[in-house]
Chains A and B, each alone.
Chain A
Amino acid sequence: MLPVQALERLVRANPDQCIRGPVKRRYNLDAFFVDLDGSKEVLVNATRYYAGLFSHRRGDDLWKGMVQVRFDNPADDVAAAAALATLGAAGP
């Protein structure tokens, strides 16, 4: 596991991959990152919040959802890239 300071340096050095705003602009992807090695209570709390954020939206009846993509499997990367390409083609 990386020390905290080193992790923060790594994240800030790679904003297009690790920070929500730049990721959203570059990949059209609303990415929230979670520290699996962080506080366990925070992990539970964040899961509760994200489950609410990415589920049914009452105001306009929009259903959302979450997908799980492993970062260490190149086959997942290919499938994810293909899915994103489809979204890009169909999007505004």
Chain B
Amino acid sequence: MTSLKKLDRDRTVAELASVESLLAGLTEEDVMTRLSLEDRREELQRMVADLAAFDDGTASVALFFGGKPVAGQRGVESEFAGTAVAKFQDLVAKLLVQEIGDLGQRGPVPNKAASTMHITSIVRGSFGFLMEELQSQGELVDTALSRAVIDASKLMAAFGNEDEGAFETAAGEVDSRVLTTAGEFFGLLKDNHATLRLVAGEHDDAFSRHAIELAVERAATTKVDEDFDELEGQLTGTLPDGHMFEFRNIVGLILRGRVDRAISADQLLEWNLTRVNADAKGRFKIRRVYKDGELVREGYTLLGLEFPGVQHIEQHT
């Protein structure tokens, strides 16, 4: 569901609740009121169903700004808004590259054009922008850009979440450049005394000044190092749709994490059917999250598996 559709649906569902409440309070004397409101209820129910059915899988996000740069519903400071939108676009571009491959440690972001979103509307309720992926790829499933936008909203929610563990988990799943860009975005909000509400798909997150300060502090104290390693053990299973794996190393420790997108869901399914608990050598990207210099979490991404004497190496670097 696109962000604007979600906002439409939220408004419609809220009105439906009002009408239901009115209907529940009617007496038998309210004959004409009841007939009118019953008709409106049916109309709203149809609208909710239609909104739920419409989803073309393209990327969409609504950014609402509040605080000092915003003058009610009339406008937002152009320099702040332009920089914030560009920074968010940059975050999505880096997450898209991570979604479909590796983001280098420095230099231009590869294939940045593929991540381009357009500002398609101004949205009210404080002041904000709707950013969308323009061309539908004609797929019934979500596009890669759509997934990258959802990843961006999840990461930002984790940044502002009081739950330290949830933040560390999220930080362990992204490249260090992604983390830096998210930190810069929150830094911009803090420096301008702004607040944010971010709506992407089903995700709807509000960032108060406190949440933004927490995010900036985390960005400053959190570092992510990336490393590559080969480990021996056994594959204990995969989730093909979720693109997740479990791998038992030689000391019996279970490692869990994401599988590189270059490995297909079909390949994961095949491994589930034929290679579970077989001796294997896995190639992993390891992300180590440091908080104030102390290691707090390790995140593993499976890049490839080799089954000695059985199958050629399936690996992607």
The chain A residues found within 8 Å of chain B, CB to CB, are 4, 7-8, 11, 18-21, 31-35, 37-39, 41-42, 45-46, 49, 52-53, 58-59, 61
Contact = CB atoms under 8 A, between A and B. Distances in A.
A30 to B, nearest CB: 9
21 contacts: A4-B31, A11-B35, A19-B35, A19-B36, A19-B39, A20-B36, A31-B36, A32-B33, A33-B32, A33-B35, A35-B31, A35-B32, A38-B27, A39-B29, A42-B26, A42-B27, A42-B33, A46-B37, A49-B19, A53-B15, A59-B8
Interface of B: 7-8, 11, 15, 18-19, 22, 25-33, 35-37, 39-40, 123-125
Contacts, number: 73
A34 B29 contact: no
Contacts of A61: 124
Contacts of B29: 4, 35, 37-39
Nearest to A42: B30
A38 B37 CA distance: 14
A38 B33 contact: yes
Contacts of A37: 29
A42 B25 contact: yes
A20 B33 contact: no
B33 A59 contact: no
B124 A21 contact: no
A63 to B, nearest CB: 13
A7 B32 CA distance: 9
Q: What are the nearest 8 A-B pairs in CB distance?
A: A33-B32, A38-B30, A20-B39, A38-B29, A32-B36, A39-B27, A58-B124, A20-B36
